[in-house]
Structure 1
Amino acid sequence: MSNFIRFLQTLDYMRLVVGICILVDGYPLIFFFRETLKLAPGSTAFTAIALAAGLVLMIPFTVLRRLYRPNLTMFWMGVGFLLLCIFYMFVYNGVPGFKEYDKDMIYFAYIFIFLFLLINIPNDVIRVFIPVVILFTLVSNLALVYSLMTNPSWAIGQRATITLGDGDDGSGNPHAFARNAFMGVIACVIWTVRPQTGFIFRLLALFSAVFNVAILVLTQTRSSIVALILALMFFMFFNVRPAQIRSTVRGLFKPVPIITIIVGIVGLMFFFRRYYDAYAILYGYVIGFVERNMENIYALLGMKVKGTQATLDASAANRSVSALFFSNVLVGHLHMLILGFGYKFLYLDVPIMEALTNMGVLGFILFGGLNIMILYHSVRIMRTNPNPLNTFLAYFYMLVLVQLFTNGRPNEIAFWFPLALMIRFMGVEHLFPAYLSDRPALIDSEQFEVVPTTQAT
């Protein structure tokens, strides 16, 4: 009977994590149902309903009866920045004739509801978080592949994405699919190297990681590639030591690892022989990606490519213009940065810079300070690996960190759903029950697990 109850609890925790995934990483599946299956092409209402469904799935049976303590410093900094954005929107708006009050307030409402529900979600979701993320990202990747295969207007060489609404052929949001693939890679690697993972599940996670890397290459998003390289560097720095290398090499000569390696090599050889075109496509994407980025470097250096002057691509050129605008502000209008130019005054495509330019010094301190704290906890977590969820969030933040300087706006839900998840779980690992930790604390932490609603844990 106790095993059956535990099984039901596991299913309930999985429901909660699916709700979280819909909010943090739901756009690939939303675009699939909206555009590929033609349920509601170009409908923002469909997107809002799908996100609302994710919020409903996140409601635990103990809602309002058990609260869990987030990182309070990060919590108040995040809430402070969001409230400042709302205040600026109504009092100090930088867009003449601004008419999107209702839409933006809906976005802010979703963020606040998401953060509130996270505080109600039990810490035990840590047990099922990584497997659910692996399955969720895998399904999203398969939906993308199906969409590409059934889209007659998509051609090899275009970025892997789902065409939105009545957009041009190949248009869409590849960053959403790149984020999904990045999350899948991180989750699969964590589950693969975790000692408690069984052989079959480790093998499946390994192949799923390779699939995610392939999707990441097809999306051709620089921010995700850079974030993956950064995450790999941190992983190698904190987890690879000479003694570990020797231990790993000795472990490779045991029966199970040898069988795994042989099966993996044979599987890859068979795959590439059977689907050589897939290998050629990936190779072409990698070469094209390198050539485009090298041309940006040549353009910055004023060099020529094949006898003609190298030019920046559209996104790099936009950030170049943003940097020029910001430098002009520093030189001639420095006083404007005290209060900023107003809510959404200018889209700089560099969120951390826009937080200062549009929201002033206070907005920059709140938004920048929050991210500095998350970065601090991320590095600490990478070093200690306290539990799978926190380790996943630490490496996932590498993508958020890169995007702080490359794309988006500081008030977008694409930023704040991951940030809210990190506010809830980062820096409070000592409050989790010991059985959730891969490295149990020396003190009994169960006393911090749950309290009635008159207190927060």
Structure 2
Amino acid sequence: MKNILRLLQDLDYIRIVIGICILVDGYPLIFFFRETLRLAPGSTVFTAAVFAFGLILMVPFTILRRLYRPHMTMLWLGVGFLLFCVLYMCVYVGEGGFNEFGKDTVYYIYIFVFLFLLINIPNDILRVFVPVIVIFTLVSNLGLIYSLLTNPSWAVGMRASITIGGSDEASGNPHAFSRNAFMGVVACAIWLLSSETSVIFRLLAFFAGVINIAILVLTQTRSAIVALIVAVIFFVYYNVRPTQVRQTVRRLMTPIPLIIMAVGFIGLLFLMRRFNDAYSILYGYFVNFVERNMENVYAILGLNAAGTTYQATLDDSSANRSVSALFFNNVIEGHAHMLILGYGYKYLYLDVPILESLTNQGILGIGLFGGLNAVIMYHVLSAMRRNPNPMSVFLAYFYMLVLVQLFTNGRPYDISFWFPLGLMIRFMGVDHLFPAYLVNRPADASSELLVVTPNPA
């Protein structure tokens, strides 16, 4: 009976985590159902309905009866910035070309409802959090693969994404799929390295991890690749010690590991010959990715493109950030006083969120938005160092993608930022409040709840 009750409880937690996944990483599946299966091509109403469904799934049975404490400093900084955005939106509506008041209002409603539901969600969801992420990202990747195989306008060499409302490659959004793949890589690594994961689920995590890495290569998004490199560096720094390396090398030099490595190497050679086309495709994507980024390096240095006599040029995204940097430099030199209050809500799209929070919303804007991310980063590094529980570790490494994107693409108002930031506000830096059975090391659970209403039942 006890096992049945625990199973039912886990199923309820799975429902909640699926709802969270829909909000944080729902675009790949939304694009699949909306565009590939043609349920509602190009419909923003369909997207809003799916997000609403995700919020409904997040509603716990204990809503309003039990509230859990988020990180209060993060909460006040985050809510403060959002309210500041709403104020600027109301003041600057109709100015600077901003005329999407209704659309942005809906976005802010979703964000605030998401934050409210998070403080109602029990900490016990961490029992199923990582496995659900693995399955959810795997399903999303399979949807993308099916879409690519059935899309006659897509060809090898193009960036992997689902086209939106047309057959043009540029109409897709590869960043949504690279985020999904990045989340999948992190979750698969955590599940694979966990001592509690069974052999079958380790194989599933390995299989899903390989697909995630392949999708990451196919999408060719710099921010996700850079974030993965940064995450690996932090993982090695906090988890790999010289003594561990020496012990591992000694163990690998024994007969049985050497035989296994030899068999694995032979198997890899066989797979490369058997699936030579797939290998060639991934290798071609890798080479193209490196050449495209080296072109930007040559352009910055004022050199000629490799093997040519003409000067290298920046790609569109890099050129846009170059223009943004020039605009900011002109503001600093001749209009620095405008940074006190900022130019106004969505005055200019800089494609650098942390910079846009300053130019558009002034000192208070960057103080709130930058301060929130600084506090999050502090607790992210703490979670990487302490490894308190699988969910906190996942969020810590997932934040590396958010951190890179703060300086590379998007806007500080985007829901693609605020749903992940909402998770950080709710779960990062508060693992000491979790009950002892949820953490990797004993913790004091005496102050877990912010509000507890006694329930005689």
TM over 0.5: yes
Residue identity in the other structure for 2:303: M
Q: Residue 140 of structure 2 aligns with which residue?
A: 140
Aligned-residue offset at 1:343: 0.2
Q: Residue 377 of structure 2 aligns with which residue?
A: 375
Matches within 5 A, 1:200-279: 200-249=200-249, 265=265, 268-279=268-279
Aligned-residue offset at 1:168: 1.7
Contact 2:351 2:411 survives alignment (8 Å): yes
Distance 1:253 1:4 in 2: 47
> Is it true that 1:418 corresponds to 2:382 in the alignment?
no
The structure-2 alpha-carbon separation of the partners of 1:301 and 1:146, relative to structure 1 and needing over 3 Å to count, comes to same
The structure-2 alpha-carbon separation of the partners of 1:334 and 1:61, relative to structure 1 and needing over 3 Å to count, comes to same
Q: Residue 312 of structure 2 aligns with which residue?
A: 310
Aligned-residue offset at 1:95: 3.3
State the secondary structure of the residue aligned to 1:304. coil
Residue identity in the other structure for 2:301: L
Pairing partner for 1:433 from 418, 432, 435 = 435
Q: Residue 362 of structure 1 aligns with which residue?
A: 364
Distance 1:448 1:315 in 2: 45
Pairing partner for 2:335 from 322, 326, 333 = 333
The structure-2 alpha-carbon separation of the partners of 1:255 and 1:233, relative to structure 1 and needing over 3 Å to count, comes to same
Q: Residue 88 of structure 2 aligns with which residue?
A: 88
Aligned-residue offset at 1:265: 5.0
Q: Residue 409 of structure 2 aligns with which residue?
A: 407
Q: Deviations over 1:344-399 (max 9, x none)?
A: 00000000000000011001000000000111111111111100000001101110
Distance 1:250 1:367 in 2: 48
State the secondary structure of the residue aligned to 1:391. helix
The structure-2 alpha-carbon separation of the partners of 1:9 and 1:259, relative to structure 1 and needing over 3 Å to count, comes to farther
Distance 1:258 1:364 in 2: 54
Contact 1:158 1:170 survives alignment (8 Å): no
Q: Residue 174 of structure 1 aligns with which residue?
A: 174
The structure-2 alpha-carbon separation of the partners of 1:215 and 1:97, relative to structure 1 and needing over 3 Å to count, comes to closer
Extract unaligned runs of 5+ from structure 2.
none
Identity %: 68
Distance 1:258 1:388 in 2: 32
Q: Deviations over 1:228-274 (max 9, x none)?
A: 00000000000000222234345658999789867865664443333
Aligned-residue offset at 1:199: 2.2
Q: Deviations over 1:13-54 (max 9, x none)?
A: 011000000000000000000000000000000000001110
Distance 1:267 1:447 in 2: 53
State the secondary structure of the residue aligned to 2:297. helix
Aligned-residue offset at 1:99: 2.5
Distance 1:90 1:11 in 2: 42
Distance 1:268 1:79 in 2: 51
Distance 1:132 1:254 in 2: 37
Contact 1:93 1:342 survives alignment (8 Å): no
Q: Deviations over 1:175-209 (max 9, x none)?
A: 00000000000011111112222222223212321
Aligned-residue offset at 1:276: 1.2
Q: Residue 50 of structure 1 aligns with which residue?
A: 50
Extract unaligned runs of 5+ from structure 1.
none
Q: Residue 322 of structure 1 aligns with which residue?
A: 324
Q: Residue 154 of structure 2 aligns with which residue?
A: 154
The structure-2 alpha-carbon separation of the partners of 1:367 and 1:263, relative to structure 1 and needing over 3 Å to count, comes to farther
The structure-2 alpha-carbon separation of the partners of 1:6 and 1:247, relative to structure 1 and needing over 3 Å to count, comes to farther
Contact 1:66 1:120 survives alignment (8 Å): yes
